Chains A and B, each alone.
Chain A
Amino acid sequence: MYIGISAYNHESAAALIDDKCELIDFCKEESISRIKGDKSFPARSIQKILDDNNLDIKNIEKFIFYERPLSAFLYPLKIASMNLPKSIPLMTHQFRNFKKSSLTCFLDLSKIYSGSEKKLYYLDHHLSHTLTALLYSEVHENLCSIVVDGFGDRSTASIHNVTDPYNIKELWNLKYPFSIGLFYSAITDYLGFSINEGEYKVMGLAAFGNPKSKYNQVINKLIYWDKKNKSIKIDLKYFNYHTSITDSYSEELIPLLGSPRNPFNQLLPEDSDFQRYADIARATQDVTEKLLIEIFKYGHELTGLTSFLFSGGVALNSVSLKRLANLPFVDQIIVPPSPGDAGAAIGAAYYGFLKGKFGSDIIKKPSLFPSLSKFDKQFNQASKIISEDFHVLTQEKEEALIVCSKLIKKGEIIGTIVGNAETGPRALGNRSLICDGKNHDAVKFLNTVIKNRSPFRPTAPVMKMETARKFYKINDALIKAYYSMSATCECLEDSDALNFPVTHVDGTARLQIAEEGSFIFSLLSKLSSYDVDILANSSLNISGDPTCLDFFDGLLVGVNSKLNYLLTDYGLLEKKS
């Protein structure tokens, strides 16, 4: 048994892979602690994995940490040291927070499971990402892996040639501080959204922007592909993320783009500054896509391969995938459901397996719902909450689906806590808020009242494959990505879908194709009798919180929001008025 660990940078997580190369369990620390973006050492996740799988720490052969800690510590310091004295505060912060850096992984593990630190191993950060993506691929040989993120342990983007799982050669890398991820985050910050949280919002806002605005030229000068050196260059005069702990962009950026947005001013399409911010978001999105295209082209040039793995935090940019998949040399792009740092724990565990005594020919593609949810005990614990705050409409599964279908048809919104939880940041039905995807009022209520999201943000649809092909331009190169809601696609010309509330202002949707056998697939099958073939699907949480994991989390969203119905493994619940 192998446990992969990711921690200290973004969301921490733990993953368990067994001797048959099967992903047995996966858990994000934020899901348990309920602290969004929890980057602490994932002690609770590891313990939950051990408990739920009846394992003892002795059963774990290796713990594998998803990066090389000294590299992750030294590289940013090296760059900061070249910018002295400006970077002194950053350096001081790094030294003073040494105890919170990944260098302490060894100590944290030994504190909790004494002796286990001897079983701790490390691999390159971008290799963790590549291995995560590889696990989700049907083929495991002759692939070109593209990894793009903010910063790993030495580079910010890389191209790997995957001859087979034991031969993964790095052909190109982009050195920190040049980073697409950090550039995108700095603009996110400038636009008033939180870094590592608001990038989705920038992506959504970009759809309102004019692609030919004056900001397009401006942004294109800030970051560009250096043809001669086959690399990306950033004009660092406009950014501070490599020298400051608090400011991601410099004062120099303000004369170029205008005043940054105050995060507390709500962004509404009718506001005077909305178009300027949307244009900046659009220019940022466009230049990001352009740079990703250059990396893919170079990857193809170096390897001659046409099947790609794409991972790292920037692979969460689902809009860019649409353009990448249209490149003439691309046959397919595999994006893991959790391409960011949390998901890299899966790649780390896989590395442990590969370094063990087993062959790679027995790789099993992981489920989209790998996070074991053994919460039966909570049904008894929550009995008083259920009786006081909810009506139990039915405890019979089939009947619950029928009642849910009727409610959805009536325009109601249902929260779901069923079966195992999803790996990635996108809820795929088991921890979702769902409603009729063609009902404008219901989708608006879900988005703005229950979720309290900005009105410019789209809500994603979920449907079966045959429905998707009826309304949307499905690109076969991305077919796997649609199952985990990782890519957007355009509506077919003159399609009714252009008027669906789940279609964004630019005529695209980040659709999810329901996987056969999943809960959402069963519900869609039931809903066909009620003339509902598309559901709006958003994660079950209230804005700012992590997606719900267990029964109590779901009940809390129920009592703390305007959500009236919860479908759970216990039964279908209706909130008392």
Chain B
Amino acid sequence: MKKNLKKETQILNVLYETAHAEFGSALEMLAACKKCDSPSTAFGYFHHAKDEYNHANTFFSILKPKAKNVVVSKARELRFQPYSVITKGYVSPKGFLIEFMHLKDFIAFVYTNELLANSSFQKMLTLLGKKTEDGEKISKIMEDELTHHGMAKKHFLKYYPALQPWQLRLYKTREHIKNNGRKFYDKNLKLLEIIFKPIYLSFSYFIGKIISFLNLNEFNREGKNLMDISQKSIL
């Protein structure tokens, strides 16, 4: 029973994260589409964005019936929050990849990440069951990811013919290492969080006590002409 509950929660969390990740990819592709001068490339990114939006919706459609059965406090956490794509790191706070990456690197990034996504969906397929209705939806998404991977490869070799397939493999390995590094970092961050949490909390308590002595009433505006207050003041 407990094991089942744990598995259900794990599935919900994976679906939630993946939906946000796919949504983040859709935004990246749309941004890339808008930056392209070539109508053919724009067409490719446009349809890639369309697919990623649909994938995000599919993951939410799988999550939705499952989330109906969980406690409300957990269900509230599973609501789609568009801005979370930034806080969760699926879109960089610096901007979209195409805004700060060289086009060649961007295409290589798409090429490798579509493949990596495909392999992580494989794991999800095992969790949900291959022959279930949800499993079929995920298999369809995996086909799309492979198509995107193939398109990126074709595009890459067409525009950068001097580069060889082995160099793409190098990109893939690099991205693979980066991904594992991120996972390692995340795991350790969680550990550090456990270690440092008491320090954070004590710090907050201590600062909170100091703040409680602050008298902000002096900055009350009642009776004042708001246009006369200094435009350089941040308080």
Q: Which residues from chain A contact B216 at a C-beta distance below 8 Å?
A: 71, 74-75, 78, 154
With A and B bound together, what is the CA distance between A68 and B95 in angstroms? 26
| B-contact 0/1 string along A455-487, CB 8 Å cutoff | 000000000000000000000000000000000
| B-contact 0/1 string along A351-390, CB 8 Å cutoff | 1001100000000000000000000001011111100100
B15 to chain A, nearest CB (A): 12
> Is the CB of A69 closer than 8 A to any CB of chain B?
yes
- Contacts A173-B221, A384-B39 given: A84-B231 contact, CB under 8 Å? no
Q: Which residues from chain A contact B91 at a C-beta distance below 8 Å?
A: 35
Q: Which residues from chain B contact A123 at a C-beta distance below 8 Å?
A: 226, 229, 231
Q: Which residues from chain B contact A64 at a C-beta distance below 8 Å?
A: 231
> Is the CB of B3 closer than 8 A to any CB of chain A?
no
> Is the CB of B212 closer than 8 A to any CB of chain A?
yes
With A and B bound together, what is the CA distance between A544 and B46 in angstroms? 19
Pick from B53, B200, B208, B219: contact of A84, CB under 8 Å: B208
> Is the CB of B161 closer than 8 A to any CB of chain A?
no
| A-contact 0/1 string along B4-39, CB 8 Å cutoff | 000000000000000000000001001101101101
> Is the CB of A166 closer than 8 A to any CB of chain B?
yes
With A and B bound together, what is the CA distance between A186 and B52 in angstroms? 33
With A and B bound together, what is the CA distance between A197 and B146 in angstroms? 35
Total inter-chain residue pairs, C-beta < 8 Å: 189
Across the interface, do A81 and B209 meet the contact criterion of CB distance under 8 Å?
A: yes
A389 to chain B, nearest CB (A): 9
Across the interface, do B33 and A84 meet the contact criterion of CB distance under 8 Å?
A: no
Q: Which residues from chain B contact A122 at a C-beta distance below 8 Å?
A: 231-234
Interface size class of A (residues with CB under 8 A): 35 or more
> Is the CB of A513 closer than 8 A to any CB of chain B?
no
Across the interface, do A168 and B75 meet the contact criterion of CB distance under 8 Å?
A: no
With A and B bound together, what is the CA distance between A545 and B23 in angstroms? 11
B13 to chain A, nearest CB (A): 15
Q: Within residues 179 to 235 of chain B, which ones have a CB less than 8 A from any CB in chain A? A: 200-201, 203-205, 207-209, 211-212, 214, 216, 219-227, 229, 231-235
With A and B bound together, what is the CA distance between A41 and B161 in angstroms? 39
Across the interface, do B208 and A381 meet the contact criterion of CB distance under 8 Å?
A: no
A149 to chain B, nearest CB (A): 15
A52 to chain B, nearest CB (A): 14
With A and B bound together, what is the CA distance between A124 and B64 in angstroms? 42
Across the interface, do B235 and A70 meet the contact criterion of CB distance under 8 Å?
A: yes
Q: Within residues 47 to 68 of chain A, which ones have a CB less than 8 A from any CB in chain B? A: 64, 68
- Looking at B77-85, B103-111, B113-121, B152-160, the stretch in contact with chain A turns out to be B77-85
Pick from A81, A85, A552: contact of B34, CB under 8 Å: A552
Q: Which residues from chain A contact B64 at a C-beta distance below 8 Å?
A: 264
> Is the CB of A214 closer than 8 A to any CB of chain B?
no
Q: Which residues from chain B contact A77 at a C-beta distance below 8 Å?
A: 208, 211
Q: Which residues from chain B contact A381 at a C-beta distance below 8 Å?
A: 33-34, 36-37, 39, 42
Pick from A84, A259, A382, A383: contact of B205, CB under 8 Å: A84
With A and B bound together, what is the CA distance between A555 and B39 in angstroms? 14
With A and B bound together, what is the CA distance between A70 and B216 in angstroms? 11
Q: Which residues from chain A contact B224 at a C-beta distance below 8 Å?
A: 169-170
Chain B's closest residue to A166 (CB) is B227
> Is the CB of B2 closer than 8 A to any CB of chain A?
no
Across the interface, do B205 and A169 meet the contact criterion of CB distance under 8 Å?
A: no
Across the interface, do A95 and B204 meet the contact criterion of CB distance under 8 Å?
A: yes
Chain B's closest residue to A105 (CB) is B234
Q: Within residues 9 to 66 of chain A, which ones have a CB less than 8 A from any CB in chain B? A: 33-40, 43-44, 64
> Is the CB of A518 closer than 8 A to any CB of chain B?
no
Across the interface, do A71 and B219 meet the contact criterion of CB distance under 8 Å?
A: yes
Q: Which residues from chain B contact A279 at a C-beta distance below 8 Å?
A: none
Across the interface, do A88 and B78 meet the contact criterion of CB distance under 8 Å?
A: no
Across the interface, do B67 and A40 meet the contact criterion of CB distance under 8 Å?
A: no
Max chain B Cβ within 10 angstroms of own Cβ: one of A122, A127, A545: A122
- Contacts A262-B68, A262-B72, A552-B30 given: A171-B223 contact, CB under 8 Å? yes
Q: Which residues from chain B contact A194 at a C-beta distance below 8 Å?
A: 79, 81
Pick from A88, A121, A171, A354: contact of B232, CB under 8 Å: A121
Across the interface, do A38 and B83 meet the contact criterion of CB distance under 8 Å?
A: yes
> Is the CB of A265 closer than 8 A to any CB of chain B?
yes
- Beyond A92-B203, A262-B72, 18 additional contacts (C-beta under 8 Å) are A35-B82, A68-B235, A75-B216, A80-B208, A84-B208, A96-B200, A121-B232, A122-B231, A127-B226, A158-B221, A160-B226, A263-B67, A265-B68, A384-B42, A388-B43, A550-B34, A552-B30, A556-B49
Question: What would 24 A/B residue contacts be, using CB atoms closer than 8 Å?
Answer: A35-B27, A35-B83, A39-B83, A68-B233, A70-B235, A71-B216, A74-B211, A77-B208, A84-B209, A154-B216, A155-B221, A158-B221, A160-B226, A169-B224, A194-B81, A262-B68, A263-B76, A378-B34, A381-B39, A544-B82, A552-B34, A556-B46, A559-B50, A560-B53
Which B residues lie at the A interface, using CB under 8 A? 27, 30-31, 33-34, 36-37, 39-40, 42-43, 46, 49-50, 53-54, 64-65, 67-68, 70, 72, 75-83, 85-86, 91, 93, 95-96, 200-201, 203-205, 207-209, 211-212, 214, 216, 219-227, 229, 231-235
